[in-house]
Structure 1
Amino acid sequence: MLIKMPRRSSKLCRFLIALITSVIFLLILLDLWPAQNLIAIPNSPVRHRHPPLTCPESSLLDDILVVIRTGATEVLVKLPVHFRTVLKCVPDYVIYSDLEEDIEGHHMFDVLDQISDDYRTSAPEFWLYNKLRESGREGLDYQTSFGSGPAGALDNPGWKLDKWKFLPMLDRALQHRPNAKWFVFIEPDTYLIWQNMLEYLQRFDPDKPHYLGTGMYIGEVLFAHGGSGFMISNPAMKIVLKHWKKNKDWFDQYTAKEWAGDMVLGRAMTDAGIALSSASPHIQGNSFTKFDWTVDKLSKPVWCYAPLTFHHMTQPEFYTMWQFETEWLYYKKNTATLRFRDIFNSVIRPQLQSELSEWDNMATGTEYSDETFKKLSDEDRGAFSQTERMAQASFENCRAVWHAAEHDKENSIRSGWVMTRVLQSLEQMDQACHSLQGNAWAT
């Protein structure tokens, strides 16, 4: 018998990852949106199984171009879910790839077709691109598609080729919509909360140069993480592209020796005199199933603020978020800003229980099992109390060890939450929001 106990932790995220994954998988098996599993939005009226699609309203609707950067090795797996969810409400978007093709009636533009022949023949990562130009999608095999899962893989040659797309992507996007006020850049596994993006961008003057995203460093270069999503105003696009074209040979050499295209873009922005403005905590680098809901940095509790994106999202997670967001828009009628806590309270909290059978919550911490005990030295075994020595004998014993050590809970064939502690944590996080006076946007 195997029973695992957790380390002491105040973070709810470790408790939730496996539960959410299991629930989402169940939704898929039940045709995604069964009536008995509708999202429970607080204080909502009685609703139909499928509320009519309600898209957000904004004066910016016709002034934003959403740009999706993808590649042939991942596009069939990751992109189609966008057409069935978020992009239903986006008036204008364009998709750039390394292969010109149509996917479900949507055109993918080759964004690398203007890279110089010198680099297309000398840079090793272009072997995939050259193969695609020669043979099309038929030239791909399992090896060249390897690693196109939610988190990607360094072994996927498409990822190595990706670094060349960023600056040409900006150039093509500006040509596509020269008068757009804003350009929003995402990847196929980035979930864009469109209603919040519209509200967020209203806070900025689009006639000034803005480069917005979640900052990361490689060496001394600060840049907006591409997978999490980033936003650039029209003036900033023009400034950085002018700088790039003036120094194109230098940036080609720089790109050839570096590995991250979003870092190359960040370097171009810095050299052009455009500083990155942080969009944290609104832009997120993880899926909501791997999200730490308790983060509080510089007295800015994430719980209280409004999300713009989640990254590394699977198709089931897309559908779950889209169902929730569709209901939120329909019943809230654009009158309330969607916050992180609303997602937790409506999608996750209803699933929490004091006990679940045949479920492993994947937390990391102290493990109590016959196998683990055998590996311990006599001295280490002697350090365990009698209660701990019997922890693996039953679920009740496991719970007793938890109470004795005042620990939270974790990996087990039978798992659960101490709901009083969960509710107490939620109440404390809600109280922290009061000092923000209703402001959903960090500054």
Structure 2
Amino acid sequence: MDDEYIESPVLHDPRCAAFPDLGNVVIAVKTGATEVQRRLPIQMLTSLRCVRNVMVFSDLEEDVAGFHIHDALDMIPSSAMEGNSDFAFYLKQKELKKYGEVEAMMGGVLDPRRPEDLAAWTLDKYKQVHILEKIWDAFPERDWYMMIDADTYLSWSNLLLWLERLPDPSEKSYLGSPARWAEVAFAHGGSGILMSRATVYDFAVTHNGSAASWDKPMHEECCGDYVIGMILKERGIILKESWPTINGENPVTLPFGSTHWCEPSVTMHHVQPNHMSIIANFERSRANQTSPWTFSDFFNAVVRNNLPDELEDWDSLSTDTMEQAESYNACKQRCEQAKECFQFAFDGKRCGLGKSIHLGQRRDQKDNKKWRSGWNKSKIEQWIAKQPPCHPTFPHT
């Protein structure tokens, strides 16, 4: 596929002209058959609408909304699946594909080994090592390769501006939002894993067959992104921590404030379809399309004027300080008295104070807890007024 690419139906959108795709970047989207119908179409029409080289990988080969979905697991031999209950879900999906109801019939299936987890989530960990080899085979010798999930919003403009400033892709680079497991710092997959040409070459060519060598051992591991980090670490390729530019938060959970203000944003994770549209509309409406946008830009354009004074049945995600309180008004007073408190949440017994600004999310009454949240908008405005103009810089540049 060296001279071919998967063309988005909106690739020729004139709004993509400010950041033309030269074909030197490959985006791999990881998803699952039980969610692809809900997630992929809006992602392709918003976050990825200007991207030329996109491959979508799942645990079932199919076509969705005009896009071909590749089976990330199709190279795993039956001998590696024998005796491994993780693959029972995979084989059942293939059997049920003909009925066209995989999501309805398999979406709630639980992992027999860990009933608290979905079987689809357990199967997911086998995909990423194979995806790395497959994207190199399809698009060899590109400069940059990025793996994201189907609920990851990727800012194409900010990504390209970042790549212009990063070291030459002939150097081995591995970047992402850090997660840690068993003393290994690895790039969290849902937030996005960015790798240079030299890194993917090392994995897929120099050490060809790395993915197959993990088909059986992966059964005992937690997750595929951890295994990638472990493999690269063993080869001397250490994660360049790139948080919060590569980020696992979304518009309702982002902690706007000292850690998320003048930094440019490249990814957000767990982004719902309606929020994908909101971010895309914000990007399109920017007057200056040639400079990176920051968390403060997004806050001022989307969040600032939509913050309420208070909301019933709402959790503002205020957890920096948690203490007992007699009432909502008592909780509100504590926030007013605390120097760094921007917002608060009361669940009927406990008062949470927040040093950053979150939109938060609906929380229905449960276990005798009834949520009510408030925002101290005067303190928020005072803090914003004190902030100097942003001069955004990308990590590792």
Relative to total residues, which structure has the larger helix share, 1 or 2? 1
Cα distance in 2 for partners of 1:168, 1:248 equals 5
Q: Amino acid of the residue matched to residue 160 of structure 1?
A: T
Q: Amino acid of the residue matched to residue 312 of structure 1?
A: H
CA root-mean-square deviation: 2.9
Q: Percent identity?
A: 29
1:344 is the counterpart of 2:299 = yes
Cα distance in 2 for partners of 1:336, 1:147 equals 45
Deviations 1:334-364 (A, max 9, x none): 23220110001110001134x3465635446
| Aligned mate of 2:136, from 174, 183, 193 | 174
Q: Who is 2:395 aligned against?
A: 442
Cα distance in 2 for partners of 1:132, 1:159 equals 14
Change (3 A) 1:121 1:201: same
1:251 is the counterpart of 2:185 = no
Cα distance in 2 for partners of 1:277, 1:182 equals 15
Q: Amino acid of the residue matched to residue 346 of structure 1?
A: A
| Aligned mate of 2:147, from 185, 188, 192 | 185
| Aligned mate of 2:236, from 240, 265, 273 | 273
Q: Amino acid of the residue matched to residue 337 of structure 1?
A: P
Cα distance in 2 for partners of 1:249, 1:65 equals 22
Q: Describe the SS at the equivalent of 1:316.
A: helix
Cα distance in 2 for partners of 1:247, 1:358 equals 52
Q: Who is 1:226 aligned against?
A: 189
Larger radius of gyration: 1
Matches of residues 19-168 of structure 1 in structure 2 within 5 Å? Answer: 54-55=15-16, 57-58=18-19, 61-136=22-97, 138=99, 140=102, 142=104, 144-146=106-108, 155-168=117-130
Q: Unpaired segments of 5 or more residues in structure 2?
A: 1-12, 347-370
Change (3 A) 1:417 1:146: same
Offset at residue 246 of structure 1 (A): 5.1
Q: Who is 1:203 aligned against?
A: 165
Q: Describe the SS at the equivalent of 2:165.
A: coil
Q: Who is 1:306 aligned against?
A: 264
Cα distance in 1 for partners of 2:236, 2:314 equals 50
Offset at residue 56 of structure 1 (A): 5.5
Q: Who is 2:344 aligned against?
A: 410
Normalised TM-score (structure 1): 0.71
Offset at residue 294 of structure 1 (A): 2.4
Change (3 A) 1:402 1:113: closer
Q: Who is 1:327 aligned against?
A: 285
| Runs of 4+ deviating beyond 6 Å | 404-407
Q: Who is 2:366 aligned against?
A: none
Q: Amino acid of the residue matched to residue 306 of structure 1?
A: P
Q: Judge conservation of contact 1:69–1:185 (CA < 8 Å) in 2.
A: yes
Offset at residue 127 of structure 1 (A): 0.7
Q: Judge conservation of contact 2:61–2:71 (CA < 8 Å) in 1.
A: yes
Q: Judge conservation of contact 1:147–1:154 (CA < 8 Å) in 2.
A: no
| Aligned mate of 1:360, from 306, 309, 314 | 314
Offset at residue 414 of structure 1 (A): 7.3
Q: Unpaired segments of 5 or more residues in structure 1?
A: 1-51, 297-301, 374-390
Change (3 A) 1:339 1:272: same
Q: Describe the SS at the equivalent of 2:252.
A: helix
Q: Judge conservation of contact 1:167–1:241 (CA < 8 Å) in 2.
A: no
Change (3 A) 1:273 1:421: same
